Structure 1
Amino acid sequence: MHRGLTKAIIPVAGLGTRFLPATKAIPKEMLTVVDKPLIQYIVQEAAEAGITDIIFVTHSSKNAIENHFDSHYELESKLIESAKHDRIDALKSITPKGVNFISVRQPEALGLGHAILCASHIVAPDEPFAVLLPDVLMHHPKKGCLAQMSNYYRQVHTSVIALEQVPDDQVHKYGIAGVLDADLRITELVEKPKPEEAPSNLSVVGRYIFTPRLMELLKNTKPGVAGEIQLTDAMAALLNEEVMFGYEFSGGKSYDCGDKQGFLRANIEYALRDKVLGADFRKYLASLDLS
C-alpha cells in the first residue's frame, strides 16, 4: 500500500545575494509580490495539494519567515477594535487551515541536496515527500502546480518532476530532462547543457515529488563542486533504480523570482490579475509615458 503525500520540504536557508541590498536584513522569501510575500504563495500552493506538514529548512537570519506564519495577537486585537474586518481576514488567510510548520536548521550552505537531508529525520523511511523551491512562483487560475502533480503521483506512484519548455537558446541556464515519449518518462538529467548537447528543451522548474528512496540515495551522495551535495546527482542515481516521470504544468505560468527580471514580471502580472487592483493598474500602465 502506498502512503499518501502529506509532507513538503521548502529550503529557505539561502542568503539571497542576488537581491542585495534588499535582502541584507529581509529574507528573500519575504519579498512581496503585490501584497503577499513569496513564501506565502508557496505555502498556499502546498496546502492546496493536501500537504499538512511543511518543513522549512532554514537559517538563523530567517526568523521573519516563521514569524509570518505565527499568530500576532496584539495586531489582531487592534484590528478587531478598529473593525477592520478585511484586514483581519487577510491576516487569518496567511496560514492555511490544518497545516503544521516544522523548522530545521541548515548549518552550512552545502547545496540543495544537503538542505533536503537536513529534514530526513522528519520524513518517515517509507514516506513520499514534495520539495518546493521558494523562488519559483507557479500561477494557475484554478489548480496549482503541486496539486496537479499530486493527482498524477496518485496514478503512477513514482517520482514526478515539474518540467517546462524553454527556448532552445536558453537551455544552458537550466537543468534539462531527457524524456522517452509522450508520457515524459525521464531518461536523463543534465545540468545547464550546451544547446547542441541538450537532450530536450524541457527544464526542471522547482517542484518535485519524490519516493522515499530519494532520501536514502541523498545520504550516500558524495559532495561535488564546492563541497556541495547536489540533488541532481541523487536524482540521477534514482533513475537507475526507479521510473521517474516529468509533468508539464498545464494551464499556468512560472516565474523565476530568484531573478530580478522574473520578480518584476511576477509583480506586474499578479497585479494585473488582482480583482481589486487590476483594472486601475492596467489603465496606469497604458498611460505611462517615460520618454
Structure 2
Amino acid sequence: MLPVVDKPLIQYAVDEAIEAGCDTLVFITNRYKHAVADYFDKAYELEHKLEKKGKSELLSLIRDVLPSHVRAVFVTQAEALGLGHAVLCAEPVIGNEPFAVVLPDDLIWNKGPGALKQMADLAEAEDASVIAVQDVPREQSGSYGIVATRDFSGRHGDIEAIVEKPRPEDAPSTLAVVGRYVLDGSIFDLLRKTRPGAGGEIQLTDAIASLMADKRTLAYRFQGRRFDCGSRIGLVEATIEFALDHEDLAEPARAYMRAALAR
C-alpha cells in the first residue's frame, strides 16, 4: 500500500495485470492485513460526499481502482510458507488455466506496453511459460533465483536451469528472476509435490524447475526499468522517476530537484 506519487504500489500492479488481459485478480494476503481488501472495496459514504461537493476528479480516482469487468478475489495465506505456497493458495480460483504472478513491490516502469503485457503476448505466441529476468551483479546472485538459458532470440531464451539464491561462485549466470511470471496451470500439481526448503518454505523456483521438464519455459528481458520498492532507495528512485513522467508534476519536480542539488 506504499504510495508512489499518487497511487499505491498495488494499484500499479493491478493496472499492469489488467493491461495484460487479466479479468480476475487474486490477492494473497495474511489474516492481519485488511488494507488491500479495504482499498478495493466500495466507499459509499466517501463517494457520496465527493459527489455532493462536485469533486469529480477525486471521485473518479476512488471509483476507477477496478474496471467493471474485473473481479477481485481475496485469499488468506494462513502461514507465510514461501512464494510457492502463496501461489498454490490461488489454485481454487484459477483451476488449470494459465495465469500470471505479479509481486507488487517490483515496480516496472515503461513508456510502452507494461512488462506483463509483453510477457503475456510472448507466452501466447510461443505457447510457453515466461519468466521476467534482468542482469544483476554476480555478487548479488544470492538474493535471487538465477537462470541458465540457451542463446537468446531477441529478448527471450529457453531456460535450461533455474537455481534459488545460489552463491556467486555457483550461479549459472547473472540473469536474475524478478517479480513477473506467466505460468501454465499444471504448476499447481508440481507445487503440491515440492518439498519445503530452508525455513520450511515452498519455493516457486523449485516448481518451475520441474515444470521445465514438460512445458517450454522462457526467460524474458522485459522492456522497462524495475524498481525494488521493498527497499527504501528503490521506493525513492521510483517516486522520482514517476514524478518526472507525471503530466502535472514533471516541471515542479525538476525545479525542486535542481534547487535541492544546488544547496
Question: Is residue 44–residue 96 contact of structure 1 (8 Å, CA) maintained in 2?
Answer: no
Corresponding residue for 1:264?
236
Residue 213 of structure 1 is matched in structure 2 by 186
% identity of equivalent residues: 44
Q: What's 1:283 paired with?
A: 255
Give the ranges of 4+ consecutive aligned residues of structure 1 lying more than 6 Å apart after TM superposition: none
- The letter of the residue matching 1:231 is L
Pick one of 92, 96, 99 that aligns with 1:129.
99
Partner of 2:115: 145
Q: Contact 2:164/2:206 (CA < 8 Å) preserved in 1? A: no
Counterpart of 1:233? 206
Which letter does structure 2 place at the counterpart of 1:249?
F
Q: Which residue among 64, 67, 83 is the counterpart of 1:93? A: 64
Q: 2:176 aligns with which of 199, 203, 216?
A: 203
Q: Which residue of 1 aligns with 2:30?
A: 59
**Separation of aligned partners in 2, 1:141 and 1:260:** 24
> How many residues matched?
260
Q: TM-score, length-normalised on structure 1?
A: 0.85
What is the DSSP-based 3-state SS (H/G/I as helix, E as strand, rest coil) of the residue aligned with 2:101?
A: strand
Is 1:224–2:179 an aligned residue pair? no
Query: Given the two structures, how large is their TM-score scaled by the length of structure 2?
Result: 0.94
Match of 1:40 among 5, 11, 31: 11
Q: Which residue of 2 aligns with 1:11?
A: none
Secondary structure of 2:187's match?
Answer: helix
Report the aligned-residue RMSD. Answer: 1.5
AA matched with 1:91: I
Q: Give yes or no for contact 2:26–2:74 (8 Å, CA) kept in 1.
A: yes
Counterpart of 1:177 in structure 2 is 147
How far apart are 1:92 and its partner, in Å?
2.2
Q: CA deviation at 1:259?
A: 1.3
1:157 CA drift (Å): 1.4
SS in 2 for 1:177: strand
Q: Structure 2: which 5+ residue stretches go unaligned?
A: none
Code of the residue aligned with 1:167 in structure 2: it is P
**Corresponding residue of 2:52:** 81
1:104 Cα deviation from its structure 2 partner: 1.0
Contact 2:158 2:216 in 1 (8 A): yes
* Greater shift in the superposed pair: 139-148 or 187-196: 187-196
> 2:120 corresponds to which letter in structure 1?
S
Asked whether 1:165 is paired with 2:122, we answer no
Shift of 1:199: 2.0
